[in-house]
């Protein structure tokens, strides 16, 4: 019995050490992607080789699911990818942080934001542009009172809640650049 246990323990140790020593497969370079993956991920072509491995795996997963998506979902993925590549690294990081923050909200708050976003989307395009180009003011700390003469700023677009996990960017209106 002791020999059998020793043999199993020895086998586990050697098996685990082999697994630990095996490096995780590197995600492919742009040239190593299939033609279909390159077509779906075309907006990312310029930045592809600079993306970290986890991000590449995420995008490859999206490309794999892409053919099964409805045409309107495919169009949304393409629009969001194009918007994503136009962001600076700092803007991308801020978008990721906003997304993580939104994910932690309780369901009732998520629903409230979703309703606000839908109301925003029902506005005429000109009104949305006007709201989207309005710089956001920092939140007033609790306890700090506004002076009565201080006008209330117009509402800005609420952050979006993504119904799918395609892109961590909240689809806010593009700022005029």
Instruction: Mean pLDDT check: name the lowest of 4-13, 85-94, 115-124, 161-170.
Output: 161-170
State how far the Cα of 175 lies from the Cα of 83, in Å rounded to an integer.
Answer: 11
The whole-number pLDDT of residue 56 equals 93
- Which tens digits make up the pLDDT trace of 14-24? 555 544 544 56
- Does the pTM exceed 0.85? no
Delimit the domains of the chain by residue range: 27-86, 92-125
Cβ atoms within 10 Å, residue 137 = 8
pLDDT at 154 over 70: no
| Rg over CA atoms, the chain | 24
Asked if 49 and 29 touch (Cβ cutoff 8 Å), the reply is yes
Q: What is the mean pLDDT of residues 50-58?
A: 91
């Amino acid at each position: 019995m002791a020999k059998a246990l020793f043999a199993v323990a020895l086998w586990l140790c050697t098996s685990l050490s082999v697994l630990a020593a095996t490096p995780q497969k590197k995600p492919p370079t742009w040239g190593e992607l299939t033609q279909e993956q390159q077509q779906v991920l075309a907006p990312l072509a310029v930045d592809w080789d600079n993306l970290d491995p986890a991000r590449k795996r995420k995008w490859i997963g999206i490309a794999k699911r892409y053919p099964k998506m409805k045409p309107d979902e495919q169009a949304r993925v393409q629009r969001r990818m194009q918007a994503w590549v136009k962001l600076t690294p700092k803007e991308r990081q801020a978008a990721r942080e906003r997304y993580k923050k939104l994910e932690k909200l309780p369901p009732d708050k998520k629903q409230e934001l979703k309703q606000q976003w839908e109301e925003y989307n029902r506005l005429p395009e000109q009104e949305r542009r006007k709201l989207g180009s309005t710089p956001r003011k920092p939140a007033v700390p609790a306890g700090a009172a506004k002076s009565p003469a201080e006008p209330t700023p117009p509402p800005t677009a609420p952050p979006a809640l993504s119904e799918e996990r395609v892109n961590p960017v909240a689809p806010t209106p593009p700022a005029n650049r």
